Amino acid sequence: MLMYSSITRKVLMALAGLFLVTFLLVHLGINLLLLKSDGGAAFTEAATFMATNPIIKVFEIVLFAGFLLHIFFGMLVSGQNRAARATRYECANASDTSFFSKYMFHTGIIVLIFLLLHFIDFYFIKTGLVAPPPGIERHDFYHRALLLFSSPWYSLIYIAGFVSLGIHLNHAIQSAFQTLGWNHSHYMGTVKLASTIYSVCIAAGYSLVPVYLLLIK
Amino acid sequence: MNFTLKIWRQKNAEAKGGMVSYEVSGISSDSSFFEMLDILNQQLIESGGDPVSFDHDCREGICGTCSLYINGRPHGPVKGVTTCQLHMRSFRDGETIHIEPWRAKAFPVIRDLIVDRSAFDKVIQAGGYVSVNSGGVPDANTIPVEKSKSDSAFDAAACIGCGACVAACSNAAAMLFIGAKVSHLALLPQGRVEAEKRVQKMVACMDQLGFGNCSNTYACEAECPKGISVVNIARMNRGFLKAKLMADKAKEIRDSM
């Protein structure tokens, strides 16, 4: 992988990223079930399906591979990019570029930290690596989520994580199209618009759950 | 007009450089940026100082020799021009102007504001040509070329190889330059034949020279004095992937490298 050319590395990173983008939509669909006033029945059913279905189990491995590939190449490419300009400019760059595109590494790191926290809070508890809080069974994601979102601090960190992800996605999706060579003046405007709409929907959709649980319910 | 200039001074490639302040006064608003630097250098020579070294040649925006990173932007604050086409009326009277050389590992500083851009020549030597003699200018329409393709090829061929794309890029990537060179040849019948081989060789050379990876910030397009579009980068990526996926040709290319 280290021997891959710069374009191959970026293409693999883009493909893994686009795969993760589709996963976000599935995860959001399940999260929004927390908004239903059914005592968590629909949410728990969906969570159980995701945890037990054999096809999903296979996809879980693919998903982890996607995460690792995207993170690995992201780190590698960023490291090489820093090395490509050993001496920095004295005067900050004033070029007319999109604001979000300059902070892909930074937002990526914030999302990675959030992902690790999320793993500790949910996935590691499910797999038994971390002990669940007293009174909550390790497969009971519904009460675990309610307990976490009852803390304004946790909710704030959660929302900050998804705002960072939204900023990351805003540039990432249209950037992936460019990397894969799918840039044409006829449709690139639509891709950029769709990228923005998708990123806002992801950030707002995920943030809706803690906002609803904390302020409305 | 009066200006305070903060200029990067560096004796040679090995020496440690630094920003040095100079004052210039009585500059005409219609003088070019280089004429202003010429006046500064005359002052320095007359006072027994060391004039500032900078690259320039045609001074009419076509040769790609001039550079300079001015106030955080390659070729200065005006869009679509090279430094030699920049005039002092684009600055405020009394302004402090920061002047630095292009910064990239692949473009080492030789002296003051002059950098070694032979990395671009090496990339061209790796594949930026047509291997056979394609003859003189053909009669019109003897080789049919679609109008949109010849227009796109011409737009890409407008690249003067100045290196502003590398200087502007937060990753010091050379993708716009190489994308333009790959595109202008691949779009025309004479260059199309070797397109797969060419793109792989040029990208491999680019990677070896230590240029960064493209993160699609499009600073290159924003600062290119010739308005080269990032669509050329996408075309190069497409061509590169196509060449990689054609395994038999890829092997043939690897063997020939």
Q: What is the pLDDT of residues A90-109, one digit of tens each?
A: 999 998 888 888 899 999 99
Q: Mutate which of B237, B240, B244 to test chain A, going by most A C-beta atoms within 10 A?
A: B237
Where are the domain boundaries for CATH 1.10.1060.10 in chain B? 118-256
CB contact under 8 A, B71 and A94: yes
Considering the domain boundaries, does residue A90 fall inside one?
no
Mean pLDDT of A111-130: 88
Topology at the third CATH level for domain B118-256: Fumarate Reductase Iron-sulfur Protein; Chain B, domain 2 (1.10.1060)
Architecture of domain B3-110: Roll (3.10)
Q: Mutate which of A97, A98, A107, A167 to test chain B, going by most B C-beta atoms within 10 A?
A: A97
Q: What is the pLDDT of residues B143-163, one digit of tens each?
A: 889 999 999 999 999 999 999
Q: Which residue from A165, A85, A125 is spatially nearest to B213, judged by alpha carbons? A: A85
ipTM: 0.90
Where are the domain boundaries for CATH 3.10.20.30 in chain B? 3-110
Pairing of strands B96-100, B73-74: unpaired
Q: What is the pLDDT of residues B158-196, one digit of tens each?
A: 999 999 999 999 999 999 999 999 999 999 999 999 999
Point out which residues pair with B96 in neighbouring strands: B4
A175/B contact by beta carbon, under 8 A: yes
DSSP output for A153-183: HHHHHHHHHHHHHHHHHHHHHHHHHHHTT--
Exposure of B21 by Cβ count < 10 A (0-12 exposed, 13-18 middle, 19+ buried)?
Answer: exposed
B51/A contact by beta carbon, under 8 A: no
CB contact under 8 A, A181 and B234: yes
Using an 8 Å CB-CB cutoff, list chain B residues near A94. 71-73, 77
CB-nearest to B213 from A81, A171, A174 is A81
Predicted confidence at residue A40, as pLDDT, reads 87
Considering the domain boundaries, does residue A91 fall inside one?
no
Considering the domain boundaries, does residue A1 fall inside one?
no
Are A159 and A207 contacting, i.e. CB atoms less than 8 angstroms apart? Answer: yes
Mean pLDDT of B102-128: 97
- Domain count of chain A? 1
* Structural domain harbouring A187: 6-84+99-216
Orientation of helix A188-211 relative to helix A141-149, angle to 10°: 90
CB contact under 8 A, A90 and B8: yes
Residue of B nearest to A12 (CA): B241
Residue A59, min C-alpha distance to chain B (Å): 26
Interior angle at CA B50, CA B49 and CA B55, nearest 5: 145
A 132-171: CB under 8 A from B: 171
CB-nearest to A95 from B168, B173, B239 is B168
CB contact under 8 A, B212 and A178: no
